[in-house]
Amino acid sequence: MTGLRAPQHHVMTNTMTKTPMPSQKPIPPKADAAIREIVGEKGIIAAADAAPYLEEWRGKWRGQTNLIVAPATTKDVADIVKICAEHRVAITPQGGNTGLVGGQMPTEGELLLSLKRLNRIRDISPLDGAMIVEAGVTLAAAQNAALDVDRFFPLSIGSEGTCQIGGVISTNAGGVNVLRYGNMRDLVLGIEAVTPSGEIWQGLKRLRKDNTGYDLKQVFIGAEGTLGIVTAASVKLFPLAKETSTVFAALPDPGAAVRLLSRAQTASGNQTTSFELIGRYGLDLVLKNISGARDPLAATAPWYALIEFSAGTPETLPTMVETFLAEALAAGEITDATIAANAKQAQALWHIRHAMSEAMKPEGLPQAKHDVSTPLSRVPEFLDKADAAIEKIAPGARIVAFGHMGDGNIHYDVLPPDPVRGAGFADKIHAIEQAVYDVIDSCEGSISAEHGIGLARRDDLIARETGPALDMMRAMKSALDPLGIMNPGKMI
Ligand SMILES: Cc1cc2nc3c(=O)[nH]c(=O)nc-3n(C[C@H](O)[C@H](O)[C@H](O)COP(=O)(O)OP(=O)(O)OC[C@H]3O[C@@H](n4cnc5c(N)ncnc54)[C@H](O)[C@@H]3O)c2cc1C
């Protein structure tokens, strides 16, 4: 099968300044035959079934390859990689294909290696607070396996029904519970991976403490498939909270959100699990474009916080939340608030937050999407400066700012102005992105808080990374993958 080339996005070619890429050519027949033999008929994705693997969900990138395989064991993955190394065949690993920066797309004819058949829970131990899962287990299945033994696996993101453990490790995914439990980097105890030469690295430890040299598992976390293939992981489990409380509060400005977060953490004794920020315009779009969505509060406000608390002792939670809200009201940090009375109401509040991306879809293209972070205290400054910069470049552009405020992570999306004033917006996208990143740099922030680099942000990473960081990354890449066969053209 041959997928189409990326139609809307510039796919980079090799240059002297970038990591060497193997020449891209069709997979040699000998290698092709050997790989097919390893996976057998069950492990080959037929041309007719290839579309879901080669199309990014928003249609932003399309992959191209002549071979998509789904091996069922770690040994099969290792044997395939050995063949690829021998024949200099490049490989793109793929999990659930929900990545937002194009890292999972084989843009130059690479072998597409899906991990979906490595989908077993190998072990689960409530006493160790650990679970060993294979790379192709979906995040939702991993969460459910933990619940089955009265434990909690806290990583939670909008794509959890589809994305896979190998994918969330390789992108170091974040989501709504990072504030309390950390991102994927904090949740992994050990990793099993296939190196670019086809060796199996057995690093599936369940240790909370292990200072035996470099922490090799961290090399694979967030590596976006450029340093090897994650085949399984040992992840942390937590006690299940007995009670949660979900609050939707109206705020006068983002500065109030920073103070409110600090108050929530103090009041709850670090039991604030989520603290999401939602701008009024984003809420308006949800109300307009998502059927069944309701405004949770009577009066409108410029900003809202969706806050979730959890506790092991249910008795104290309601009192704590009520006192916290009363004090925040007195301090002028909130102007109104509602507490979900039951799980259904909590779900409705979370639905607003999760529907933000969907609500923007009908609002015209192109849209400039940014996934940025700053130190918490500088989020208000970022928002002020970025809004001003955008208004200069594209007067009337509509800004939807929302996201994981508790982590200083804002999804800052710029939509075209209404059609009458919107002419020429497409030509301004690059300038808008660069202006946002300039503000981020001035606020000591990051141009990619949780989605990664992939194809989408590679030029920006290379242009903006200062000091020896890029050299160190490239040294790691060439030490571990001297042939450059692992996901070439992505990240660095
Ligand atoms: C609706 C929606 C909501 C989202 N919300 C969030 C969010 O809140 N927070 C967040 O962080 N992300 C979010 N994402 C982004 C995305 O879900 C994550 O990046 C996720 O971690 C990707 O997992 P995946 O299995 O789909 O990986 P893929 O998209 O298949 O791959 C992602 C990258 O990882 C590499 N990779 C995949 N599996 C392996 C493996 N086994 N070994 C080595 N490399 C591998 C790929 O080559 C690629 O570079 C969201 C996406 C969607 C569509």
pLDDT in tens, the chain (492 residues): 333 333 333 333 333 344 444 445 689 999 999 999 999 999 999 999 999 999 998 888 999 999 999 999 999 999 999 999 999 999 999 999 999 999 999 998 999 999 999 999 999 999 999 999 999 999 999 999 999 999 999 999 999 999 999 999 999 999 999 999 999 999 999 999 999 999 999 999 999 999 999 999 999 999 999 999 999 999 999 999 989 999 999 999 999 999 999 999 999 988 999 999 999 999 999 999 999 999 999 999 999 999 999 987 767 899 999 999 999 999 999 999 999 999 999 999 999 999 999 999 999 889 999 999 999 999 999 999 999 999 999 999 999 999 999 999 999 999 999 765 557 899 999 999 999 999 999 999 999 999 999 999 999 999 999 889 999 999 999 999 999 999 999 999
Distance CA 56, CA 54 (A): 7
Q: What Rg value do the Cα atoms of the chain yield, rounded?
A: 23
Distance CA 220, CA 164 (A): 15
According to DSSP, the residues that pair with 415 across neighbouring strands are 398
The answer to the question of residue 11 being in a domain is no
According to DSSP, the residues that pair with 188 across neighbouring strands are 235
| Pairing relationship of beta strands 188-194 and 130-134 according to DSSP bridges | unpaired
- Nearest C-alpha neighbor of 356 from the set 345, 343, 371: 371
Ligand 1 centre from 380 Cα, in Å?
A: 28
The answer to the question of residue 438 being in a domain is yes
Tokens of 231: 């085949």
Cis peptide before 366 (omega within 30 of 0): yes
For atom 15 of ligand 1, which residue has the closest CA? Answer: 99
Ligand 1 centre from 16 Cα, in Å?
A: 29
Which residue of 69, 97, 98, 114 sits with most ligand 1 atoms within 8 Å of its CB, as the best mutation to test the pocket? 98
Determine the pLDDT at residue 25.
Answer: 67
- Please tell me the pTM assigned to this model: 0.93
**Are 279 and 320 members of one domain?**
yes
For the CA of 98, the closest atom of ligand 1 is 26
Distance CA 69, CA 45 (A): 6
**Are 77 and 157 members of one domain?**
no
Ligand 1 centre from 164 Cα, in Å?
A: 7
**Are 339 and 376 members of one domain?**
no
Ligand 1 centre from 223 Cα, in Å?
A: 11
For the CA of 139, the closest atom of ligand 1 is 25
Distance CA 167, CA 233 (A): 11
For the CA of 223, the closest atom of ligand 1 is 44
**Are 125 and 212 members of one domain?**
yes
Tokens of 325: 């809200």
Ligand 1 centre from 224 Cα, in Å?
A: 9
For the CA of 357, the closest atom of ligand 1 is 1
**Are 293 and 346 members of one domain?**
yes
Task: Say if residues 96 and 52 touch (Cβ distance below 8 Å).
Answer: no
Ligand 1 centre from 451 Cα, in Å?
A: 8
CATH number, position 411:
3.30.70.2740
Q: Residue 262 has what DSSP assignment?
A: H
Domain hosting residue 295, numbered range: 243-358
Query: Within 10 A of 282 (CB to CB), how many other CB atoms are there?
Result: 27
**Are 249 and 228 members of one domain?**
no
Domain tally for the chain? 4
Determine the pLDDT at residue 17.
Answer: 41
Ligand 1 centre from 420 Cα, in Å?
A: 37
Per-residue CA distances from 19 to 107, 274, 436, 482, 491 (Å) = 16, 38, 27, 10, 10
Which of 358, 392, 420 is the last residue in one of the domains? 358
Distance CA 156, CA 133 (A): 16
Tokens of 137: 């287990």
The answer to the question of residue 480 being in a domain is no
What does the chain come to in residues? 492
For atom 37 of ligand 1, which residue has the closest CA? Answer: 167
User: 29-39 and 74-87 are packed helices; what angle lies between their axes, rounded to 10 degrees?
Assistant: 180
- Nearest C-alpha neighbor of 36 from the set 76, 2, 90: 76
The answer to the question of residue 411 being in a domain is yes
Tell me which residues have their CB closer than 6 angstroms to ligand 1.
57, 92-100, 103-104, 115, 135, 157-159, 163-164, 166-168, 170-171, 173-175, 224-225, 229-230, 357, 450-451, 454, 487, 490
Helices (H), 171-269: 178-181, 184-187, 216-220, 254-268
Ligand 1 centre from 61 Cα, in Å?
A: 15
For atom 50 of ligand 1, which residue has the closest CA? Answer: 159
